[in-house]
Amino acid sequence: MSIIEKGNGVLTLINVFTVEPDKQRELAQLLIDATEQTMKRQPGFVSANIHRSLDGKRVVNYAQWESRDAFEAMQKNPQAAPHMKAAAALARFDPILCEVVEAVSTL
């Protein structure tokens, strides 16, 4: 379970992968494995939430890091590189660094 809220200083990375539908499942599993094996042990990791699009053409990772510094330190970590190379071999990706400006919920 992950929480989206405003004003907590978290860096959000929304990474949209465009993939051939017959590779969607493989890409999603690769991102799950990367998270379980490497990312979740990096300092400042908060969450990674892997989504598959219903049309088969996208995979989206909605990820949270404690800060931009923590995210950039992870990117420089050689342990992260093989996973990102494997993802790049399967899909184009468009990483968007953001912050929450409003969260409206029925909760």
Residues that bind a copy of itself (CB under 8 A): 1-5, 12, 14, 16, 28, 32, 35-36, 39-40, 45-55, 58, 60, 62, 68, 94, 96-107
Q: How far is the CB of 6 from a copy of itself (least distance, A)?
A: 9
Q: How far is the CB of 61 from a copy of itself (least distance, A)?
A: 10
Closest CB to a copy of itself among 48 and 87?
A: 48
Q: What is the dihedral of CA 22, 28, 33, 38, to 10 degrees?
A: 130
CA dist 106 and 54 (Å) reads 24
Q: Give 40's DSSP letter.
A: G
Give the position of tokens 């979740």. 40
